[in-house]
A and B are shown apart, each in its own frame.
Chain A
């Protein structure tokens, strides 16, 4: 099938019965966004495992395809297959097959933002207004910014987020709403720690605003 690509080493590190996930990021430049993450047998005659990946135009999308290893997979290969019907152009990055840990063990916490949460794109541009009023605008790129106000956050969770800020960790923000989800790769850009104020009336709850930007 044209457009497929492979990892050319067999998956012999898989332990039978253990849980793993094919993870990574996908960016859909143009066209049809239907792909599959697959494990195929050694002569590519059959697909042992597959999960659909749906690309989104102009955005990086995180995908995770969990599976339980079987013996035949130990001699199989990882493949990404285009399953759409039209032309397509996509980029995959940071692809890995690794232990399928739950989000908490990966260092994830769940937060409930206030309605004032803002999400927008910022443009990096130079603008020149000339004598007769004409405008020349040169756009160098853009990036996404999240401003997430948070109230009544348990002090333990707030401390974790503050520690991420202190160690300048790169973060992944998974937004879930009504069964629809997406993941963004972000950096915490708060000038000071995100949670620095106690919630009024509570000594074990914090409030603050998380400022995140894509990198």
Chain B
């Protein structure tokens, strides 16, 4: 994981005094010199939601009036990047945000505000099936359903390779391989849901994260074991730290309904998993996974989800908001962060996964949201034919 940059670029990010550059491109034209204030944007793996940002440009000369005079020019893409200039090899850029222009505003005669949303937004504008002719999927691995949703219904490229301009094929392939290896099977029936809504259900049922990355490609991952590529921060790089313990996210008994029969509105399978030690400590906190648009077709797959949910959400997870500098800007959502804080007795022995990032391109600061629920309890394999139903912690 991690964006592809040179080791020299990473060294520049770590410098205490550096001269970075920022770039804002509309289509293939560079508008960096017109930017009045560089934006702040967020990217999250907690929800399936399009990232958005607004870039304010100087328009005292009216050069950007074309967006309302010739409104068809609004249908264009934008990209925000940061870079450094090497003495001999020239500029190296890292694209942090890509999206489509969704709104242009002229608040006065000197400014033009470009409002941009990433590719996930386009999936909120397309539906899957309808109540008269539902889109139905027979039992198959969930990644196959996801691929059909985003390509056939969402209109994204169906190229199965790294040249796919809309989907990170390598990440998708890795994601799909986990379901394939474990023979996790799902069926689905959509009666007019938006593609984005269908993906929300998909992410919840498969315990996955789906987002659009800096290069504009849709990325699918299922949280797996902490990577050895994690990075560490200490007090010399941390500006502020906030810790929250969230009791609302507690689930120590998880129910999963499966093998849905749409004709009779009947669920043939009903399984649950419980963490009795944590029920004794925190009381009973139940949650039901029962979705009549996407469901597991066998009890083994359903029990896998119930067990996984009860295991990772059995105790109130700790959440950390970490304000820091750009030393890890080349890291991607879902990677692991180790950090040290002596007051809170946090050592580098534990790695936390960041599932949300906020980048302030004006002040060049980064905020990570780290969530224990997706990192602290380690990882276990889903049911494998070779392993039976044992948990492999």
Q: Which chain A residues have a beta carbon within 8 Å of chain B's beta carbons?
A: 126, 128-132, 134-140
- Beyond A136-B325, A138-B364, is A130–B236 a contact (Cβ under 8 Å)? yes
Q: Is B18 an interface residue (CB 8 A)?
A: yes
Q: Nearest chain-A residue to B325 (Cβ)? A: A136
- How many A-B residue pairs have C-beta atoms within 8 angstroms? Tell me: 50
Q: Is B365 an interface residue (CB 8 A)?
A: yes
Given the complex, which residues of B lie within 8 Å of A126, measured CB to CB? 362-365
* Contacts A132-B235, A139-B19 supplied; 13 other A-B pairs, CB < 8 Å: A126-B364, A126-B365, A128-B239, A128-B325, A128-B363, A129-B239, A130-B236, A130-B325, A136-B237, A138-B17, A138-B18, A138-B364, A140-B19
Q: Nearest chain-B residue to A129 (Cβ)? A: B239
Q: Are A128 and B17 in contact (CB under 8 A)?
A: no
Enumerate B2-34 residues with CB–CB distance to A below 8 Å: 16-22
Q: In the docked arrangement, what's the CA distance between A201 and B324, Å?
A: 59
Q: Are A134 and B236 in contact (CB under 8 A)?
A: yes
Q: Are B17 and A130 in contact (CB under 8 A)?
A: no
Q: In the docked arrangement, what's the CA distance between A134 and B362, Å?
A: 20
Q: How far is the CB of B212 from chain A (nearest CB, A)?
A: 26
Q: In the docked arrangement, what's the CA distance between A4 and B16, Å?
A: 40
Q: Is B171 an interface residue (CB 8 A)?
A: no
Given the complex, which residues of B lie within 8 Å of A137, measured CB to CB? 16-17
Query: Per-residue CB proximity of B288-331 to A under 8 Å, as 1/0?
Result: 00000000000000000000000000000000000011100000
Q: In the docked arrangement, what's the CA distance between A126 and B234, Å?
A: 20
Q: In the docked arrangement, what's the CA distance between A79 and B363, Å?
A: 44
Q: Which of A130, A135, A138 contacts B238, CB < 8 Å?
A: A130
Q: How far is the CB of A174 from chain B (nearest CB, A)?
A: 26
Q: Are B235 and A130 in contact (CB under 8 A)?
A: yes
Q: Which chain B residues have a beta carbon within 8 Å of chain A's beta carbons?
A: 16-22, 234-241, 324-326, 362-365
Q: How far is the CB of B333 from chain A (nearest CB, A)?
A: 22
Q: How far is the CB of A48 from chain B (nearest CB, A)?
A: 39
Q: Are B235 and A131 in contact (CB under 8 A)?
A: yes
Q: Are B239 and A139 in contact (CB under 8 A)?
A: no
**Most B-side CB within 10 Å, residue of A128, A132, A140:** A128
Q: How far is the CB of A118 from chain B (nearest CB, A)?
A: 26
Q: How far is the CB of A165 from chain B (nearest CB, A)?
A: 15
Q: In the docked arrangement, what's the CA distance between A135 and B17, Å?
A: 8
Given the complex, which residues of A lie within 8 Å of B22, measured CB to CB? 140
Q: How far is the CB of B321 from chain A (nearest CB, A)?
A: 14
Q: In the docked arrangement, what's the CA distance between A136 and B239, Å?
A: 10
**Most B-side CB within 10 Å, residue of A129, A136, A139, A140:** A136
Q: Are B362 and A130 in contact (CB under 8 A)?
A: no
Q: In the docked arrangement, what's the CA distance between A137 and B16, Å?
A: 6
Q: How far is the CB of B5 from chain A (nearest CB, A)?
A: 17
Given the complex, which residues of B lie within 8 Å of A134, measured CB to CB? 16, 236-237
Q: What are 27 pairs between A and B in contact, CB < 8 Å?
A: A126-B362, A126-B363, A126-B365, A128-B239, A128-B363, A129-B239, A130-B235, A130-B236, A130-B237, A130-B238, A130-B325, A132-B236, A134-B16, A134-B237, A135-B16, A136-B16, A136-B17, A136-B325, A138-B17, A138-B18, A138-B20, A138-B326, A139-B17, A139-B19, A140-B19, A140-B21, A140-B22
Q: In the docked arrangement, what's the CA distance between A75 and B117, Å?
A: 57
Question: 7 closest A-B pairs (Cβ-Cβ)?
Answer: A132-B235, A131-B235, A134-B236, A126-B363, A136-B325, A126-B364, A138-B364
Q: In the docked arrangement, what's the CA distance between A106 and B326, Å?
A: 49
- Beyond A136-B325, A137-B17, is A130–B239 a contact (Cβ under 8 Å)? yes
Given the complex, which residues of A lie within 8 Å of B365, measured CB to CB? 126, 128
Q: In the docked arrangement, what's the CA distance between A132 and B234, Å?
A: 9
Q: In the docked arrangement, what's the CA distance between A133 and B211, Å?
A: 36
Given the complex, which residues of A lie within 8 Å of B234, measured CB to CB? 132
Q: How far is the CB of B17 from chain A (nearest CB, A)?
A: 5
Q: Are B239 and A131 in contact (CB under 8 A)?
A: yes
Q: How far is the CB of A17 from chain B (nearest CB, A)?
A: 40
Q: How far is the CB of B218 from chain A (nearest CB, A)?
A: 31
Q: How far is the CB of B196 from chain A (nearest CB, A)?
A: 35
Q: Nearest chain-A residue to B60 (Cβ)? A: A168
Q: Are B325 and A139 in contact (CB under 8 A)?
A: no
Given the complex, which residues of A lie within 8 Å of B362, measured CB to CB? 126
Q: In the docked arrangement, what's the CA distance between A139 and B239, Å?
A: 19
Q: In the docked arrangement, what's the CA distance between A180 and B295, Å?
A: 83
Given the complex, which residues of A lie within 8 Å of B241, measured CB to CB? 131
Q: How far is the CB of B341 from chain A (nearest CB, A)?
A: 8
Q: In the docked arrangement, what's the CA distance between A136 and B20, Å?
A: 12
Q: In the docked arrangement, what's the CA distance between A130 and B240, Å?
A: 8
Q: Which of B16, B20, B324, B326 contacts A140, CB < 8 Å?
A: B20
Given the complex, which residues of A lie within 8 Å of B237, measured CB to CB? 130, 134, 136
Given the complex, which residues of B lie within 8 Å of A132, measured CB to CB? 234-236
Given the complex, which residues of A lie within 8 Å of B239, measured CB to CB? 128-131
Given the complex, which residues of A lie within 8 Å of B18, measured CB to CB? 138-139
